[in-house]
Structure 1
Amino acid sequence: MKIIPFLYILPAAFILDLILGDPPSFPHPVRLIGKAISFFEPLFRKLPIKIFTSGLLFCLFLLFISFLLSFLMVYVAQLIHPVIGIAVEIVLVYYCISVRSLKDAAFSVMQAFRNSGLEEARQKVSVIVGRDAKNLSEEGVIRAAVETVAENLVDGVISPLFFAAIGGAPFAITYKMINTLDSMVGYKNEKYMDFGKAPAKIDDVANYIPSRISIFIISFAAQLLWCKGISSFKTAVKEGSNHSSPNSGYSEAAFAGALSVKLGGPNYYGGQLVPKPYIGIEFGKAQWIHIKKACNLMVLSSILALLFLWGIGVTFLK
């Protein structure tokens, strides 16, 4: 990527997301990605090969299509006019970032509780988490919202910015396909245990570096907000591996240390109790104020991630 376009693309895409969020009426590549996954899955399942191999080919095919189409969109736009090329790339990267929508979703849980009570809050949180929410306690709802904000800071902000900084919109869109594949077929159940194994592993690899970068970014943000940087960093290093995912625990542990709140623990998924260790064992229970504080931490961490990755990119492109 050339230096002049790069100067504008990441900051402009980030600002667009803060202003617009994810308007449901807009055509959105991620929705198209979801439809593509649903359309091609049964076709690849019918291949006369091992189910793991068909899942791997399914994943690689969709990643190739995502990269190719986004690359061609940017390339053709640049042929028309360089400014149009920059504009298209800004919009595509904007579609991959979710600071505003993540903040709005978390706040909607808190607002639902204030307006209608626990049952409505459970319904709101069920939209943004994978666990069973219908029987969650008040603390369970709060903890679920905070954990989602922490985990999706990486998936929805730092990782897309990281890949956009490396390879522009085509890399960011390809990462979004990886992440969506994992969320749709990367389950450890009977249906997807073998077919979704490759997408899940590729998602783990893609988020490996961004998740660990997040420790430093979140700790710095926690220090600026509440002078809790050391607690955030120590908790992330000590308890970041206390998670079924090789990546998600680090951002959650950094948030636990920054907010002085206990996260994680066992939860029901598909009606079955899944034992999970707690993160931030020494801290207290989650309260409603922690959702607001988690969102503040997420937004500042997102801004710091933008500045860091933008600065690194500018340095290497000089």
Structure 2
Amino acid sequence: MPRPIRAYIHPSAVRHNLEVARQRAPNSRTLAVVKANAYGHGIERVYSALKDADGIALLDLDEAVRVRQLGWKKPILLLEGVFTRADVSIAEEFSLATAIHCDEQRELIEAAKPTRPIDVFLKMNSGMNRLGFTLDKYRAAWERISATDGIGKIALMSHFANADQGSVDWQLERFDETTRDIRGERSLANSAATLWHPRAHRDWVRPGIMLYGGSPSGLSQDVKDLPLRASMTLQSEIIGVQTMSAGETVGYARTFQAGVTMRIGVVACGYADGYPRHAPTGTPISVDGVTTRTVGRVSMDMLTVDLTPCPNAGIGSKVELWGNAVKIDDVASSAGTIGYELMCALARRVPVVVTSRDTP
């Protein structure tokens, strides 16, 4: 019999969260972001939940082709653009829109001589300082692209550096001033701006992490008043129980010492399953529906939990590592990371079950 660990994917939660995004930006169209294989969920597993989106945004050409092959007829945007002339041919064949963030990408399209125009999103570096044309070069880039054969509609886009933590006004002002009198639809808002900065909504919003029930800030309290639902549940079972006397330790490096006699449960989940190795003692976890804490060091295949709050728990008791009872952002925050990483880090060895409900 296989180990009892399972990951449950809830397309109904993704569908619900997409509707939340649409309600927050009712005058905008929605590009559902499914990069990194739908944030670790699997594009094929959540595809059915995305039918009300106006488009899909991702990075990988193979993923874009998979979406088309699933039957998607609406726009698909390559967020990092194309990297070779062959990429341009694939974009043409599958009617993909592409970001352009440098002259070299424009030149690739020009050199490929596509027979059907390729729509583009011209990327501005409004302060993030990763990709995009700087403010002083943006208008000239737009003029060059407008005159380039093989390019269709040109939309204008940028990306916020701290929409999850503070104001976006400084970047909005730069974007608006630079694009004054430039034709084209606008796209600026990521999940954080979709939720918290309506001034940034414009023609297209690009919700990502919120579609999967995560907080854009990485802090669950920032979305506690929003009706977002967890789209992934990681569940396992207690496979062993030990009673420790005061002064005894558990796990590698003996990092946890019992202060009193206590029962410890051993859970079939470790860092080889995608659980964060550096999650310290005190990371929240649920046993039989009761929230308790991890104790000691996470090992490759197991971790240990304090059974004091759940005295009736034993071998076979259900454990939720994250989901609706235990927020993935709380687990991530305890481990010094963000929920995005945990979603994407789910190991291939963990069996995945797609459910029709929001709970396993």
TM-score by length of 2: 0.21
Greater share of strand: 2
Larger Rg: 2
Q: Which has the higher helix share?
A: 1
Q: What's the TM-score once normalised by structure 1's chain length?
A: 0.23
